[in-house]
Amino acid sequence: MESAGVRHRPRVEGGREEEILDATVAVLAELGYDRLTMDAVATAAKASKATLYRRWTTKADLVVDAISRAKGCPMPEDVDTGSLRGDLISMSCGDGGFTDEMPMSVIAGLLTALHRDPELQRAFQELFLAPRIALTNRIYGRAVERGEIAPDVDVQLLSTTLPAVIIHHAYVLGVEPTDDLILRVIDNVILPAARGSQAS
């Protein structure tokens, strides 16, 4: 008889796992988390619902795995450009950045559910947010080492400012994230704030 552990994590043959993860991201972007069902994902992926349940025991497991690993939501690359400005542009404007339509639409589909689903919130923070926060911390850590950030600046607060402004524009003001908007925030908010009391 199979153990519970074996039932939870069987291998999906060939490229089927990637296809299922991509289908999950697409369904999430279209329907949102609340309306997403295993049936809908199975239909989109042309897989049986039993196949999904053999690999992912809950909807939250499937969704978080999908947004963490599917190619629709790539992890931004850690490219050391030699400057805080260059690093922020590289992280925010490339694949997986704020101008990537799929990640932003996926986050929109999760926002309401994250506030009232503790299991989803925990998994989202640990598997999706944590590596991105680590990347942001590396970028700002390098800037501190280069002397681009003044000693009196709250680096932790500064590091959350760019995503906060972009997300506010996208989901509160309805302004689509663009390269121009990102550059405006970097040049008019982040870099002046990084200079702290040294700024004129």
Task: State the average pLDDT for the chain.
Answer: 86
> Per residue in 93-116, pLDDT tens?
877 788 877 667 777 778 888 888
5 has pLDDT over 60: no
84 has pLDDT over 90: yes
**CATH number of the domain enclosing 19:** 1.10.357.10
60 and 96 in a common domain? no
Q: Name the DSSP letter for residue 12.
A: P
94 and 185 in a common domain? yes
Tell me the pLDDT band of 7, cut-offs 50, 70 and 90.
very low
SS (HEC) of 25-74: HHHHHHHCCCCCCHHHHHHHHCCCHHHHHHHCCCHHHHHHHHHHHCCCCC
Please state, in angstroms and as integers, the Cα–Cα distance from residue 181 to each residue in 1, 21, 78, 115, 128, following that order. Answer: 57, 30, 21, 27, 24
Residues in Cβ contact with 23 at an 8 Å cutoff, skipping those fewer than 6 apart: 41, 44, 45, 47
Phi, psi dihedrals of residue 167, rounded to the nearest 5°: -65, -35
Asked if 139 and 80 touch (Cβ cutoff 8 Å), the reply is no
Instruction: Please indicate, yes or no, if residue 63 is contained in any of the structural domains.
Output: yes
Q: Cα-atom radius of gyration of the chain, to the nearest Å?
A: 19
49 has pLDDT over 50: yes
Instruction: Please indicate, yes or no, if residue 141 is contained in any of the structural domains.
Output: yes
> Per residue in 166-175, pLDDT tens?
989 988 898 8
State the pLDDT at residue 69.
79
Instruction: Please indicate, yes or no, if residue 74 is contained in any of the structural domains.
Output: no
Q: Single out the residue in 16, 44, 69 at which a domain terminates.
A: 69
177 and 114 in a common domain? yes
Number of domains within the chain: 2
33 and 8 in a common domain? yes
Cα separation, 166 vs 156, whole angstroms: 17
123 and 57 in a common domain? no
State the pLDDT at residue 128.
85
Instruction: Please indicate, yes or no, if residue 76 is contained in any of the structural domains.
Output: no
140 has pLDDT over 90: yes
> Which residue range(s) make up the domain with 49?
4-69
Instruction: Please indicate, yes or no, if residue 79 is contained in any of the structural domains.
Output: no
**CATH number of the domain enclosing 89:** 1.10.357
64 and 97 in a common domain? no
pTM (2 d.p.): 0.79
